Amino acid sequence: MATKPPSVVQEFSSDTLEKIAYTSVSSIPTEEPNDCNRLGYHVWRWLRNREGTLEQAVAESEARLHISRQEAIKIICEALSKHGVSL
């Protein structure tokens, strides 16, 4: 039985909203990589819809952070402003 190699993953362009959201949370220490992915998804969803606040999006993600939520929000805000996203 032959095993096929995995499919090639095509990355988002660096200026897309998805890439900006996931990059903004990439340096936040979490319990597992999936916590970071979940946090990135909630930031992306917040950027796309602008419903509620960023603080609410971080809380909704229920990501298990190794830092406080306030520190995580500060890191995300700094990363978003570096990409030219107004808050």
Q: Render pLDDT for 12-58 as a digit per residue (tens, 0 to 9).
A: 788 899 999 999 999 999 999 999 999 999 999 999 999 999 999 99
> Does a structural domain hold residue 71?
yes
> Does a structural domain hold residue 57?
yes
Number of domains in the chain: 1
> Does a structural domain hold residue 23?
no
> Does a structural domain hold residue 64?
yes
Q: Which domain holds residue 39?
A: 30-82
> Does a structural domain hold residue 61?
yes
Taking the CA atoms of 68, 59, 72 and 66 in sequence, report the sign of the dihedral they define: positive
> Does a structural domain hold residue 3?
no
Mean pLDDT along residues 49-71 = 95
| pLDDT value of residue 72 | 96
Give the span between the Cα atoms of 30 and 36, in whole angstroms. Answer: 6
> Does a structural domain hold residue 47?
yes
Give the span between the Cα atoms of 3 and 19, in whole angstroms. Answer: 31
Confidence of residue 1 (pLDDT cuts 50, 70, 90): low
> Does a structural domain hold residue 35?
yes
Taking the CA atoms of 45, 48, 52 and 57 in sequence, report the sign of the dihedral they define: positive
